[in-house]
Homo-oligomer: A and B are copies of this chain.
């Protein structure tokens, strides 16, 4: 037994990443073995090394892909005319986007400490870039008098922490729909900004 019928690199590669993401999210990077990932894919552990040079890089690639996806999706979102509308738009974008990929969000936040120094710096840079997008909105609103905020840097961190929360508890078919959560959180953020 070796090569299975119909197996291709373009199929197995994504399946490896999907299995790794799901397992890392559920049990944590350090608690998941390459053999578990392989079993999930239906392959022997050695075969994983056709798709990643090592376990650490597998984690890093998942996180970098996620961060790239966030930034790309936000860049493709039309810019609203006023700071208030832009903040509302950002809040709704953030919740919607993150609710669609809870595993990637969870891993990208929880497993930062398992990255080596160079990989950590890369991911941290991307995160900073995203935060800066929000802070720019807050600064504009503060300058124009649309928001009343004593510290835009703190508000940035506070809003992102708040808006990421639903990712940890949202379940399809729960008490509230995505749209309702989006509405409520957007309203709380606007309130908190003094808009």
Cα–Cα distance between A37 and B84 once the two chains are bound (Å)? 50
Q: In chain A, residues 11-31, which have Cβ atoms closer than 8 Å to a Cβ of chain B?
A: 26-31
- Identify A188's interface contact among B29, B158, B181, CB under 8 A: B158
**A187: Cβ under 8 A from any B Cβ:** yes
Copies in the complex: 2
**A184: Cβ under 8 A from any B Cβ:** yes
**A143: Cβ under 8 A from any B Cβ:** no
Q: In chain A, residues 137-158, which have Cβ atoms closer than 8 Å to a Cβ of chain B?
A: 150-151, 154-155, 157-158
**A52: Cβ under 8 A from any B Cβ:** no
Within 8 Å CB of A185, what residues of B? 154, 158
**A191: Cβ under 8 A from any B Cβ:** yes
Partner-B contacts on A (CB < 8 A): 26-31, 110, 113-114, 150-151, 154-155, 157-159, 161-162, 164-166, 169, 176, 181, 183-185, 187-189, 191-194
Question: What are 25 A-B interface contacts by the 8 Å CB criterion?
Answer: A26-B113, A27-B113, A28-B28, A30-B30, A31-B114, A110-B110, A150-B183, A150-B184, A150-B187, A151-B176, A151-B184, A154-B185, A154-B188, A155-B188, A157-B165, A157-B169, A158-B162, A158-B165, A158-B185, A158-B188, A161-B165, A162-B162, A189-B192, A191-B192, A191-B193
